[in-house]
Amino acid sequence: MCSRLRAQSKGCCRKAVPDSGIDARAARRRFERAARTYAAAARLEAEVGARMLERLDYVKLQPRRVLDAGSGPPQRALGRRYRNAEVIALDFALAMLRIGKRKLLERNPPKAVSGDIARLPIAARAIDLVWSNMALHWVADPLAAFKEFHRVLAVDGLLMFSTLGPDTLAGLRAAAGDARVHRFADMHDLGDMLVAAGFAEPVMDMERLTIVYADGAALLADLRASGQTCASAGRARGLAGARFRAALDERLAEQRRGGKLPVGFEVVYGHAWKAAPKRAADGRSIVQFVQ
């Protein structure tokens, strides 16, 4: 499924989109605790990242500076692809950056920076490529993140990202209840946010991926090990208790097919360019003459 969202004025978004309801402090704690186990458990993130890299094959871009926004443990892939570029790996979980940095001893390792992707500690127009793999669904206000991406990108710079869509973990939501599983933004809402942030003609598409687990216990263990347990502001507090866990296991067991538990994820991809400004800071129109 693919959708090209034509540029509109900032006041013409399809509808007002509320924030994701993420408790940023709770999300950071989840990933700090999971730093040592994340790499082995984050199979979906690794697969989606590989698919994003394939998409770069069709992009003619030689960036001087790349921002990996929400990197998790710093990765080698972008430095390998763009060997002459400075790669900045930014994540809000310092433990993630420390774990990854110890393993990166080869040429052109990324520079690790701890920070919030909705408040980037980076100068305006300093970046040529913003890359964000499976991080935006952990941001309380994705529009704020898009505005920051637009701010730090140079003119003609590219944003490429992936995130989770609303059909993600539908089976777990049905089994555990809405209060225990995040709500994820719709592809079209994200496209509207890109336009509102100032990006030109964003392109969005989506695919559904399935990971097969032995049972519900294996699914929950994977989510814990990768730091991806519920961090919504309205989440249920305290321990769920043995009775709830037994009922959850029973409901997930009912979803098994052929002795295995298929778990669906809706993955949303987007990319957009930062166009040259049409107006100066004082409101005057900018006209470019091509010789």
Kindly report the average pLDDT of the chain as a whole number: 87
Where do the H-state alpha helices sit in the chain?
Answer: 24-33, 38-41, 43-56, 77-81, 94-101, 142-152, 170-176, 187-197, 216-225, 242-253
- Residue % of the chain over a pLDDT of 70: 83
Residue 221 backbone phi and psi in degrees, to 5: -65, -40
- State mean pLDDT over 61-66: 96
- State mean pLDDT over 227-256: 86
**88 DSSP β-pair partners:** 67, 111
* Four-point Cα dihedral 214, 216, 220, 225, nearest 10: -10
Question: Which DSSP string corresponds to 97-165?
Answer: HHHHHTT--SSSPPEEEE-BTTB--S-TT-EEEEEEES-GGG-S-HHHHHHHHHHHEEEEEEEEEEEE-
Helix (H) or strand (E) holding 88: strand 86-91
What are the boundaries of each domain within the chain? 2-165+185-205+268-273
Fold of 2-165+185-205+268-273: Rossmann fold (3.40.50)
* Four-point Cα dihedral 98, 141, 144, 200, nearest 10: 110
Q: What is the value of pTM for the model shown? A: 0.86
- Please check the confidence at residue 16 and state whether its pLDDT lies above 90: no
Q: Which one is predicted more confidently, 12 or 247?
A: 247
- Please check the confidence at residue 37 and state whether its pLDDT lies above 90: yes
